[in-house]
Structure 1
Amino acid sequence: MSVKRTLMMVGLGIFGVIALITVFTSWYTVDESEQAVVITFGRADEMVTNPGLHFKLPWPVQSVEILSKETFSLQFGYKQNKAGELEAYDAETKMITGDEYIVLTDLVVQWKITDPRKFLFNAQSPEEILHSATSSAIRSIIGSSTIDAALTDGKAEIEAKTRDLLVSLIEKYDIGIGVLGVKLQDVELPNKEVRAAFTAVTDARETKNTKTNEAQKYMNQRKSEAEGEKDAIISKAQGAKTARIEQAQGDVAVFNKMYEQYKGNQQITRERLILETLENVLPKAQIYIMNDDGSTMKYLPLQPLQPQQPQTDKKEGSGN
């Protein structure tokens, strides 16, 4: 074999290798859950978000970095190992509250890549920056909160404030990350004795609140009943007042009418009033009208005749 033929075979081999490299490095696939950044001579050139098969110049002219669109979880204060067990990092989670108590705080940060260019080139390790920013944010918020808020009903507010502060820090760092949410996993005291004492205090406070609410409920109930009784008494008194006024007005009308009759015939009216008065005063008495000479006059009876007791005839038996 001549040298010329050998060189030709070597050249064809090199060309074939280059052709294969060109074919295999010029096409890439982007999945629906992925996004890509095309890098030309080490510089971000194009961002691809549409799924499918895409073309680029062969390596080393262009290369591509595939990144996920999915949501990531940053575990702060603990980590799940390969066996599925949780490993706690007490040194990382130990914090001081605003009233100078020590608490252990674990949380999860939900985040995603919002700008692949910035994620790749604005920071060497964006996830470490996110971790440090999370530590700074949660320590700042816990440091301005009370122990009661951190352990009981203030967790939602702490989560919201931590998220807002973390979002502002990440936006300032401009590393292409978006924070979606912050969730406190656990906030607890560092040892069992302190936890037991705080639990006792919390239980006592809850008992106090329960008793206070029950007393308030009883007071409101009694107050409502008293208000109802008061309204009933006022309504009854108002009705009695109205009835007395109407009765008095009726009596006045009767009196005025009688007075008009009296003015027209004083003698007859006077006698009728006397008879009516006697009838009211002596309802069961028999009335006799006497003349001046002492003899009895005939009159129409003003009272019905009293029924006489029936007399039973006794039959006397004759003795034999």
Structure 2
Amino acid sequence: MVSLKRIYTIAGLVLAIVILSMVAFTTWYTVDESDQAVILTFGKVEEGITEPGLHFKLPWPIQSVEKLSKETFSLQFGYEEKDGEIKDFPEETKMITGDENIVLADLVVQWKITDPEKYLYNAEDPEEILYDSTSASLRSIIGSSKIDDALTSGKAEIEAEVRELLTSLVNKYDIGISVLAVKLQDVELPNEDVRKAFTDVTDARETANTKLNEAEKYKNQRMNEAEGEKDALISKAEGEKAARLERARGDVAVFNKLYGEYKNNPDITRERLVLETLEQVLPGAEIYIMNDDGNTMKYFPIRPLEKEQAKPKEDGGADNE
């Protein structure tokens, strides 16, 4: 018969071995570089651990460890991508724009856990809250946007507004999540006929804009040419004005000089002016000068005299050479 004392001894040894094993295996833990951890003391969060490596704690059930990933997660709204295949959920992505058109919009949200304590204990399902917040934010922004903006050039602005609204909702719910980025994947019309009609309208609008731009370009070109012609005419007129003013000043100077000579010798100056005028009006003509009484006519050989005067000058020039 085995004595009762022996049974107690064996049971005590087994219990001691179990306790020592539990202490040995539950007083240390490791944290990877991609993980973060929180220490729980009787279920209450004591501290967060983000440093990778080996760490120690009190044995279970006094303290326990919850590990969470530090990586960036992607929330796919309106579709699901697995093994390279994409599955759409059009009923979730169907929404009405601000100008009462129906579109299908899906997006992806980049997020990460920034507060493990709040992520674990402030909500039962933080990812579900994030999904619902994403849906509410996207529908709100699309509902206040025009269909042209949602389908064409306004996507970047819609993304920024969705991210801003989603971030405010997540912060309000305080679930330990931070939104890093929001990216619209597809925004399209619900069926092929509507898409084709919208494409036709968009093409017509782009054609109209192209024509308007070409007309504006032609208008600017013609305006520039007209401005250039105007400036050229003004410049020419200014030059003509300056030239005429200079000629007038020269004529005035000549007149003043002649007038001064005329005052000194009126008869000689008058005859000289008459001869010069005749020379200009009748170049090459033979000129006869008559006395004032009209009885005797005298020939005044101006041309031969000029030729006689010119010959000595030419001869003298030849000799000098």
What is the CA–CA distance in structure 2 between the aligned matches of 1:119 and 1:132, rounded to whole Å?
16
Aligned-pair CA distance for 1:228: 0.6
What is the CA–CA distance in structure 2 between the aligned matches of 1:154 and 1:299, rounded to whole Å?
96
Matched, 1:92 2:92: yes
User: Which string of whole-angstrom CA distances, capped at 9 and with x for unpartnered residues, describes residues 5-25 of structure 1?
Assistant: 443333223222222221221
Q: Which residue does 1:125 correspond to in 2? A: 125
Aligned-pair CA distance for 1:148: 1.1
Mean CA deviation greater in 184-193 or 283-292: 283-292
Q: Secondary structure at the residue paired with 1:295?
A: strand
Whether the aligned pair in 2 keeps the contact of 1:286 and 1:303 (CA below 8 Å) is: no
Matched, 1:283 2:283: yes
What is the CA–CA distance in structure 2 between the aligned matches of 1:86 and 1:186, rounded to whole Å?
13
Q: Which residue does 2:145 correspond to in 1? A: 145
Q: Which residue does 1:227 correspond to in 2? A: 227
What is the CA–CA distance in structure 1 between the aligned matches of 2:286 and 2:305, rounded to whole Å?
9
Whether the aligned pair in 2 keeps the contact of 1:76 and 1:106 (CA below 8 Å) is: yes
User: Cα 1:39–1:114, aligned 2, differ >3 Å: closer, same or farther?
Assistant: same
Task: State the AA in 2 paired with 1:288.
Answer: Y
Q: Secondary structure at the residue paired with 1:50?
A: coil
Q: Which residue does 2:109 correspond to in 1? A: 109
What is the CA–CA distance in structure 1 between the aligned matches of 2:302 and 2:197, rounded to whole Å?
103
What is the CA–CA distance in structure 1 between the aligned matches of 2:172 and 2:122, rounded to whole Å?
12
User: Cα 1:198–1:304, aligned 2, differ >3 Å: closer, same or farther?
Assistant: farther
Q: TM-score, normalised by structure 2?
A: 0.90
Whether the aligned pair in 1 keeps the contact of 2:98 and 2:143 (CA below 8 Å) is: yes
What is the CA–CA distance in structure 2 between the aligned matches of 1:302 and 1:116, rounded to whole Å?
126
Aligned-pair CA distance for 1:287: 2.6
Task: State the AA in 2 paired with 1:229.
Answer: E
Matched, 1:295 2:298: yes
What is the CA–CA distance in structure 1 between the aligned matches of 2:34 and 2:221, rounded to whole Å?
60
User: Cα 1:61–1:287, aligned 2, differ >3 Å: closer, same or farther?
Assistant: same
Matched, 1:171 2:171: yes
Whether the aligned pair in 2 keeps the contact of 1:109 and 1:181 (CA below 8 Å) is: yes
Query: Unpaired segments of 5 or more residues in structure 1?
Result: 306-320
Q: Which residue does 1:308 correspond to in 2? A: none
Mean CA deviation greater in 117-126 or 2-11: 2-11
User: Cα 1:304–1:123, aligned 2, differ >3 Å: closer, same or farther?
Assistant: farther
Q: Which residue does 1:4 correspond to in 2? A: 5
Aligned-pair CA distance for 1:270: 0.9
Task: State the AA in 1 paired with 2:251.
Answer: D
What is the CA–CA distance in structure 2 between the aligned matches of 1:302 and 1:30, rounded to whole Å?
128
User: Which string of whole-angstrom CA distances, capped at 9 and with x for unpartnered residues, describes residues 148-203 of structure 1?
Assistant: 11111111111111111111111111111111111100001111111111111111
What is the CA–CA distance in structure 1 between the aligned matches of 2:307 and 2:231, rounded to whole Å?
48
Whether the aligned pair in 1 keeps the contact of 2:287 and 2:301 (CA below 8 Å) is: no
User: Cα 1:304–1:56, aligned 2, differ >3 Å: closer, same or farther?
Assistant: farther
Aligned-pair CA distance for 1:208: 0.8
Task: State the AA in 1 paired with 2:125.
Answer: S
Q: Secondary structure at the residue paired with 1:178?
A: strand
User: Which string of whole-angstrom CA distances, capped at 9 and with x for unpartnered residues, describes residues 246-270 of structure 1?
Assistant: 1111111110111111111111111
Q: Which residue does 1:256 correspond to in 2? A: 256
Q: Which residue does 2:312 correspond to in 1? A: none
Q: Secondary structure at the residue paired with 1:86?
A: strand
Aligned-pair CA distance for 1:91: 1.1
What is the CA–CA distance in structure 2 between the aligned matches of 1:116 and 1:288, rounded to whole Å?
129
What is the CA–CA distance in structure 1 between the aligned matches of 2:236 and 2:272, rounded to whole Å?
38
Q: Which residue does 1:309 correspond to in 2? A: none
Matched, 1:41 2:42: yes
Supply the RMSD in Å over aligned alpha carbons.
1.7
Matched, 1:75 2:76: yes
Q: Which residue does 2:317 correspond to in 1? A: none
What is the CA–CA distance in structure 2 between the aligned matches of 1:272 and 1:302, rounded to whole Å?
16
Runs of 4+ in 1 over 4 A off after TM superposition: 298-305
Whether the aligned pair in 2 keeps the contact of 1:37 and 1:64 (CA below 8 Å) is: yes
Task: Show the 5 A alignment for 1:301-320.
Answer: none
Aligned-pair CA distance for 1:284: 2.4
